[in-house]
Amino acid sequence: MIHLKKISLNQLICLVILTQVGVSVLEIPYAESRHAGYDSWMSILIGGLLAQIVIFIIYQLSKRYPDQSLQQYIFSILGKPLGWLVNLLFALYCAESSLMVVISYADVLNRWVLFQTPFFVILGITLVVATYIASSTLRSISTITQSILNMFLICFVIIFISGMGKGDWRHFLPIGTHGIGAIIKDSLPAFWAYAGYELLLYVFPFVKCKKKKHIFIAMSIANGFTTLFYLLITIIVTYNFSESQLNTITEPMVYILRKFRWPVVQSLDILFMTIWLSVTTVTVFVYMFLSARYLAFVGKKEIRNHPLLVWIIGILCFSVGIWFSDRQSIFKFSEYHNKATMIMIALVPTIILLISYVREKVARE
Amino acid sequence: MKADLLIEKNEKSLKELLFNSSDFKFSDFEIGNRSYRLFYLETMIESIKVQEHIIRPLLTNVNGTIREAVSILDYCETDQLSDATKALVEGKTVVQINGEAKFYLLGTELVKERSINIPMNERVLRGSHEALNENINTNLNMMRKLIETPDLVIKFYQVGRRSNTKVAILYLNSLVNEVVLAEFERRVANIDIDYIEAPNFLQELIEKKHFTLFPKILVTERPDRINSYLMDGKIAILTDGSPDCLILPVSFWAFFQSPDDYQIGWLIGSAIRFLRILAFILAFSLPGIYVALVTFDPRILPFEIALTLQSSMQYIALPPVLEAIAMLVILEILREATVRLPSPIAQTIGVVGGIVIGTVVVQANLISNMMVIVVALTGIASFNIPSYEMSSAARLLTYPFILMASMFGLIGLEISFLLLLTHLSRLDTMGIPYFYSWYSGETIKDTLFRFPIRSLKKRPFESMAKESTRIKTPRG
């Protein structure tokens, strides 16, 4: 029997883009304009650059073990007990990420689209879909993601059209008055919005390519695309709202969509948020899949029953998620999540990479 | 390769050249001190011709040469094995005298007596108008006629403990993927059932157990279509007594292809292909979209349209979900009634169903007229899909979509759409993924659109052909 396990570069690009973009699209550039104001577009750019650096680190790390995933080679770098710990941490982090995305979007849906449906029902159906998808193989997941890219492109067009309404280019001027310090300070929340490329840690050995370098190029293309997309949104938002307006609007994109009148569709925001559900679902199921894969390597032996692990994680997410029905707790959770993101996707790979360099040097001497 | 003096050696090499095709046969007879052997492809010769014009004259004319004895116009001699193979494939009888390194090629092709009809279920505007019939030998003859090369391998299997139904597997030896072929042959050989009815028995017995609505094996009655799939490196299965041919492995997209797409300009072909896929999506989602818009999110619609909808639904007692389901079921009842009836009565039913039920139901305020439009559109859209199996799948999918839409509105639709996508992506035929995105790699050229012939350089991905290049120098 033929069983195709590898994914193509095309699929890798789709996976990375759609894992990166998620709920944050509606909120950009609220968090990024706390210090930088209307200069937030520069913060977004710098955030993309930071993400690119982390991608380079992850690529360097994965390249050293081209036939294995992090789950497997972590043991040869850190040894058994520490390796288990790192796997467990990554499993927790991924599960937590998918929980974060799913509750944020369920909250958005509850506030804007389905007012009367209880929070836990929205959470439940999105989690069921995501869990069902995550229990498939990596190849199926990539195929699904590739198809969802169509939806993403529709959303892209909607955003583009609706943003070109009434606005003022003078909102951008004078450029750079907030100072470089403020801009860099705000590039940190921007950097969190880019999370998603760390899936390379797992996916690297499964990508079909002629040269390993192509993986890095594909990752850069994906990250570049996301950066451009975020930049486009920031520009559209800044074009439409002045700085003082930005300070009070937490979800500017929704207002822009709602404001836009189109003869065929009256409230574009509902349509957008409905289609956007599939894009956020990608983030949810990719993280859930990764979480199950990390969890599989926590024990002494690899646990081969992938669907079972995914469903356990799904049920856990649901039972934790129903406690987050009020918005304040989501904010607190997201603050904690941002710190975790910083540590898990930037610091941990860097440390592992350094340790593996040191080990190699020691071994050589 | 040259012919050998000994018959047995020639037989062996001919067998090799024909890749052990099961229809390769021979018969011996001795006249005087000479022993003759007739080689032929069983499926390709007319036995009366052989008996009357070869064997009988040889028996009477004991001492003459073969040229003098036989009364067949199409005669030639050769000492090349490759010529003999080619002749065999064309339906000639090859005669050899033991001890003589020479072949006599005698034309004894089978002449079809049964008329070949126009395809009933897959009509086209341009292209061949032949359809398969129930005789497997005639069908194989048609296929051999279309693909005159020893590369076309025909293998026979007997399926059914009691019925011993003849099943033929066709493939091009230089293209077919051996792993798929081996797996497929294993599955066919493992079938243990007392009789089979083609094509669906085979289809269900070959497929792995999957809980799915979607057809995974393509059924066709057109030899030209089988030809084009064989040329892609796929496997075709013909069953004696059935005018349908099974083709595998195929992808989801193959069910939206029609031979017509390739017979008109690529722009129009692409437009029609796109239309079909749009019709497929409408066929399962349109009532759902309507229900979601009307019950959950009328805010999305412009005010004027919302008012029109409102006025059409004013006196209707049923909720839109029930309206939709009721109308769809009525449509299905009408369809089922007209399919099996002789055409004059079917027309009457059409009038009764379409005009009487359609208009009266609205006048009686049972169903809103908007709903009648939606359901009629859905029904017509579902008939746009070339494959009957696929269109049935689409029609059955409508109901879960309506239910989800009535519970969660557009979000429910989105979720059912994702679930459908997931289900499709998890399916496989013979280990090969059934569904892939329309734009993945080289496949972009023949899924949602049909690119110009000269740019269709690669065979489709799912056939996993040994040689994937179809066109080398398009205009050279």
User: Cα separation of A321 and A307, whole Å?
Assistant: 20
Q: Which residue in B285, B420, B211 sits closest to A132, CA to CA?
A: B420
* B299 to A3: CB separation less than 8 angstroms, yes or no: no
Instruction: State the smallest CA–CA distance between residue B181 and chain A in angstroms.
Output: 10
Q: What local confidence, expressed as pLDDT, does residue A55 receive?
A: 93
What is the band of B79 on the pLDDT scale with cuts at 50, 70, 90? confident
Rounded to whole angstroms, the Cα distance separating B402 from B379 reads 15
Looking at beta carbons, which residues of chain B come within 8 Å of A4?
Answer: 431-433
* Chain center to CA of A267: 27
Smallest CA–CA separation between A244 and chain B, in Å? 30
Separation of alpha carbons B467 and B252, rounded Å? 22
CATH among 3.40.50.620, 3.30.420.480, 3.90.1150.10, 1.20.1740.10 for A9-364? 1.20.1740.10
Task: Determine the distance in angstroms separating the CA of B108 from the nearest CA of chain A, rounded to an integer.
Answer: 42
Instruction: Report which of B28, B26, B4, B2 is spatially closest to residue B100, judged by C-alpha positions.
Output: B4
Among chain B, residues having any CB pair with chain A shorter than 8 Å are 177, 179-180, 183, 297, 299-303, 408-415, 417-419, 421-422, 425-426, 430-433, 435-437, 439-441, 464
Contacts of A265 in chain B (CB under 8 A): 300-302
> Per DSSP, what are the bridge partners of residue B92?
B107
pLDDT for B401 equals 95
Residues of chain B found within 8 Å of residue A132, distances taken between Cβ atoms: 419, 422
Which residues face B239 on adjacent strands? B167
Asked if the Cβ–Cβ distance from B441 to A8 is below 8 Å, we say yes
CA-nearest residue to B425 within chain A is: A140
Task: Answer yes or no: do B425 and A149 touch at CB < 8 A.
Answer: no
pLDDT over 90 (residue B262): no
Q: How far apart are CA A43 and CA A49, in angstroms?
A: 10
- Using the beta-carbon criterion (under 8 Å), do B432 and A109 form an inter-chain contact? no
What is the spatial distance between Cα B165 and Cα B442, in angstroms, rounded to a whole number?
40
pLDDT at B325: 93
Q: What is the ipTM, given to two decimal places?
A: 0.92
From the CB of residue A260, how many other CB atoms can be counted at a distance below 10 Å?
21
Q: State the DSSP string of B319-375.
A: -HHHHHHHHHHHHHHHHHHHHHS-HHHHHHHHHIIIIIIHHHHHHTTSS-HHHHHHH
pLDDT in tens, B199-244: 788 888 888 777 888 998 999 999 999 999 999 889 999 998 888 9
- pTM equals 0.85
- Mean pLDDT for the stretch of residues A353-365: 86
Of the candidates B421, B422, B440, which has its C-beta nearest A10's C-beta? B440
Scan for tokens 């437009």, then name that residue. B271
Residue B60's Cα: distance from chain center in Å?
A: 49
Task: Quickly list H helices, chain A.
Answer: 9-20, 24-27, 33-36, 40-64, 70-78, 80-112, 119-134, 138-163, 179-193, 200-203, 212-240, 243-246, 252-259, 268-296, 306-321, 327-341, 348-364
Q: Please give the Cα distance from B445 to B122 (Å, whole number).
A: 23
Q: Please state whether B424 falls in left (phi above 0), alpha (psi between -120 and 50) or beta.
A: alpha
Q: Which two tokens stand for residue A325?
A: 């029905």
pLDDT of residue A2: 60
Task: Give the residue-averaged pLDDT of B269-281.
Answer: 92
Query: Is B303–A266 a contact, with Cβ atoms under 8 angstroms apart?
Result: yes
Both structure tokens of B89: 């494939």
pLDDT digits (tens, 9 = 90+) for B3-13: 777 778 888 88
Of B183, B301, B410, the CB nearest to A266: B301
Q: B422 to chain A: which residues are within 8 Å by CB?
A: 129, 132-133, 136, 140, 144
**Cα separation, A51 vs A42, whole angstroms:** 14
Write the CB contacts of B335 (distance below 8 Å, at least 6 apart in sequence).
Answer: B379
pLDDT band at B113 (very low <50, low <70, confident <90, very high): low
Least confident of A229-238, A313-322, B27-36, B151-160: B27-36
Averaged over B255-276, what is the pLDDT?
89
* B contact test, residue of A128, A131, A143, A286 with most B CBs within 10 A: A143
> Residue B476: pLDDT above 80?
no
Other beta carbons within 10 Å of B58: 19
pLDDT at residue B470 above 90?
A: no
A208 — pLDDT class (breaks 50, 70, 90)? confident
Query: Cβ contact (<8 Å) for A136 and B418?
Result: no
Task: With beta carbons less than 8 A apart as the criterion, state whether A78 and A352 touch.
Answer: yes
Which residues are CB-contacts of B140 (< 8 A; sequence separation ≥ 6)? B23, B43, B154, B168, B170, B238
Q: In the A/B pair of chains, how many CB contacts fall below 8 A?
A: 105
CA angle B20, B24, B26 (to 5 degrees): 125
Contacts of A1 in chain B (CB under 8 A): 179, 183, 430-431
The reply to whether residue A281 touches residue B437, judged by beta carbons under 8 angstroms, is no
Higher pLDDT, A165 or A210: A210
Model pLDDT, residue B111:
62
How sure is the predictor about A92, in pLDDT bands with cuts at 50, 70 and 90? Answer: very high
Q: Which two tokens stand for residue B246?
A: 């099974």
Q: What is the dihedral of CA B184, B186, B190, B194, to 10 degrees?
A: 50
pLDDT at B123: 84
Interface test with A, best of B296, B300, B439 (most A CBs within 10 A): B300
Q: What percent of chain B stands above pLDDT 70?
A: 98
| CA atoms of B402 and B371, how far apart (whole Å) | 13
- β-strand pairing of B34-41 with B92-97: antiparallel
Return the residue of A nearest to B441 by Cα. Answer: A10
- B414 neighbourhood in chain A, CB within 8 Å: 274-275, 277-278
How far from A202 is each of A91, A223, A310, A325, CA to CA, in Å? 12, 17, 16, 32
Q: Which of A219, A256, A194, A273 is nearest to A32 (CA)?
A: A194
Q: What is the DSSP letter of B208?
A: -
Q: What integer best gives the mean pLDDT of chain B?
A: 86
Residue A1 in this model has a pLDDT that exceeds 60: no
pLDDT at residue A30 in the model: 82
Instruction: Provide residues of A within 8 Å CB-CB of chain B.
Output: 1-4, 8, 10-11, 109, 113-114, 117, 122, 125-126, 129, 132-133, 136-137, 139-141, 143-144, 146-150, 263-267, 270-271, 274-275, 277-278, 281
**Cβ distance of B415 and A126 shorter than 8 Å:** yes
Task: Report chain B residues whose CB lies below 8 A from the CB of A264.
Answer: 302
> B228 exposed, middle or buried (CB, 10 Å; 0-12, 13-18, 19+)?
middle
DSSP string, B63-111: SS-HHHH---SSEEEE-BHHHHHHHHHHTEEEEEETT---EEEEE-BPP
Write the pLDDT tens digit of every residue in A298-341.
Answer: 877 888 888 999 999 999 999 999 888 888 888 888 888 888 88
Q: How confident is the model at residue A4 (pLDDT cuts 50, 70, 90)?
A: low
B432·A2 Cβ contact <8 A: yes
Residue whose C-alpha is closest to residue A180's, from A30, A27, A46: A46
Per-residue confidence (pLDDT) for residue A311, from 0 to 100: 93
Task: Give the chain A residue whose CA is nearest to the CA of B179.
Answer: A1
Read off the amino acid at residue A195: A
Which of A6, A140, A207, A284 to probe the B interface (max B CBs under 10 A)?
A140
Task: State residue B313's pLDDT score.
Answer: 83
- B432 neighbourhood in chain A, CB within 8 Å: 2, 4
In the predicted structure, residue B87 carries a pLDDT above the cut 70: yes
B414 closest CB neighbour out of A11, A136, A278: A278
Look-up: residue for tokens 């650059």? A49
> Is the model's pLDDT at B64 over the cut of 80?
no
CA nearest to B407 within chain A: A117
Question: At A128, is the pLDDT very low, low, confident or very high (cuts 50, 70, 90)?
Answer: very high
- Inter-chain touch B302–A3, beta carbons under 8 Å: no
Residues of A in contact with B411 (CB under 8 A): 109, 113-114, 122, 125, 274, 277
Identify the H or E element spanning B275.
Answer: helix B266-295
Nearest to B202 by CA among B177, B179, B219, B214: B219
Q: How far apart are CA B302 and CA B307, in angstroms?
A: 9
Contact B414 A4 (CB under 8 A): no
pLDDT score, position B153 = 92
Token duo for residue B457: 């350089």
Rounded Cα distance, B299 and A114, in Å: 12
Specify the DSSP element, H or E, that contains B406.
helix B388-426
Q: What are the structure tokens assigned to B364, written together?
A: 């009686």
End-to-end CA distance of chain A: 47
Which chain A residue has its CA at the smallest distance from B411's CA?
A274
DSSP letter string, B438-472: TTSGGGGGGTTS---GGG--B--GGG--SS-B--S
Nearest-by-Cβ selection for A266 from B302, B413, B415:
B302
Q: Is the pLDDT of residue A76 over 90?
A: no
Name the residue of chain B whose CA is nearest to A4's CA. Answer: B432
User: What one-letter code names the amino acid at B405?
Assistant: A
Mean pLDDT of chain A: 87
List chain B residues with CB under 8 Å of A136.
422, 425-426
CB within 8 Å of A228: residues ≥ 6 apart: none
Per-residue confidence (pLDDT) for residue A182, from 0 to 100: 84
pLDDT at position B287 over 90? yes
Percent of all residues in chain A with a pLDDT value above 70, rounded to a whole number: 99
DSSP classification of residue B118 = P
pLDDT of residue B172: 92
- Domain segments of chain B as ranges: 7-107, 136-250, 265-432
Residues of A in contact with B464 (CB under 8 A): 2
Give the whole-angstrom CA distance, residue B338 versus residue B341.
5
pLDDT in tens, A30-50: 888 888 778 888 888 999 999
Going from N- to C-terminal start, the domains of chain A cover 9-364
Nearest CA to B38 among B106, B94, B101, B77?
A: B94
Q: What are the tens digits of pLDDT across the range A257-288?
A: 888 877 788 888 888 889 999 999 999 999 99
Q: Which residues of A touch B409 (CB under 8 A)?
A: 113-114
CB contact under 8 A, B433 and A274: no
All residues of chain B having their beta carbon less than 8 Å from the beta carbon of residue A143 are: 425, 433, 435-437, 440
Burial class (CB in 10 A: 0-12, 13-18, 19+), B192: exposed
The SS3 of residue B119 is: coil
